[in-house]
Amino acid sequence: MSMSPAILAREIGFSYGASRVRGRILRSLNLSVAPGEVVVVTGASGVGKTTLLTLCGALRSMQEGVLHVLGRNLRGLSIAGQCEVRSLIGFIFQSHNLIDALTATQNVVMSVLDRTPIDEASRRAAAKLVSLGLAAEVEAFPEELSGGEKQRVAVARALIREPKLILADEPTASLDDESAGMVKEAIAQAARTTSCAVLVVTHDARIFDIADRVLRLADGMLVEA
């Protein structure tokens, strides 16, 4: 029996601005992402890639269409329901958003303190950082890390939650080839080993090789790239 899609979007529309000058950025957009599938969405700047990602992450309110994420209909979903959906998602953004006062390990631990005892969380966090090539940086503070190292800490923070869905916004765009390769492999491994669905929006063609599908967002709709 086939599994339900992790993301199922039908006729999604979204506009910005006041009623008289609304700028339509998504129109009649359709998308399906299956568990274990890696889908990459590319397209020019400003076409709505991040808007699509934030809608799928229940970080932005729906306007038009139907969007089911991890079995929940996001249209009109309560605040509590939105929080529940977000708890199942691993978010990776281009801006790492680390807490400056915490070490790399502590930043990762914070992601699972709501569900895991601190000793176990610390062990898992350190192991995840080591797997991303950060063995020497587990006790380093963000100011002591390079941009690529900070981004890998952010990836560890997302993956330690063992999410059902990964939403990644330009996860490799600012990284050198070595760091980008580690991030790509970590994302691909999550999809392979835990059937985590992955939706990546990016300009970076280096990530295309882990994709099951590459789509292009243009004129508010998705087409095969």
- The secondary structure of 101-162 as a DSSP string is TS-HHHHHHTTTTTTS-HHHHHHHHHHHHHHTT-GGGTT--GGGS-HHHHHHHHHHHHHTT-
pLDDT of residue 23: 78
pLDDT of residue 114: 84
DSSP state of 25: E
Neighbouring C-beta atoms of residue 56, cutoff 10 Å: 26
Distance separating alpha carbons of residues 184 and 188, to the nearest angstrom: 6
- Domains in the chain, please, with CATH? 35-60+80-224 (3.40.50.300)
Q: Average pLDDT per run of 10 along the chain, which is 225 residues long?
A: 84 81 84 97 93 95 94 92 94 88 96 89 94 94 92 93 94 87 91 94 94 95 88
pLDDT of residue 19: 60
H or E stretch at 179: helix 177-194
Whole-Å CA distances, 28 to 12, 52, 65, 217: 5, 12, 8, 12
Closest by Cα among 205, 158, 156, 198 to 177: 205
Whole-Å CA distances, 45 to 49, 123, 194: 8, 39, 32
pLDDT of residue 17: 76
pLDDT of residue 22: 66
Distance separating alpha carbons of residues 50 and 167, to the nearest angstrom: 10
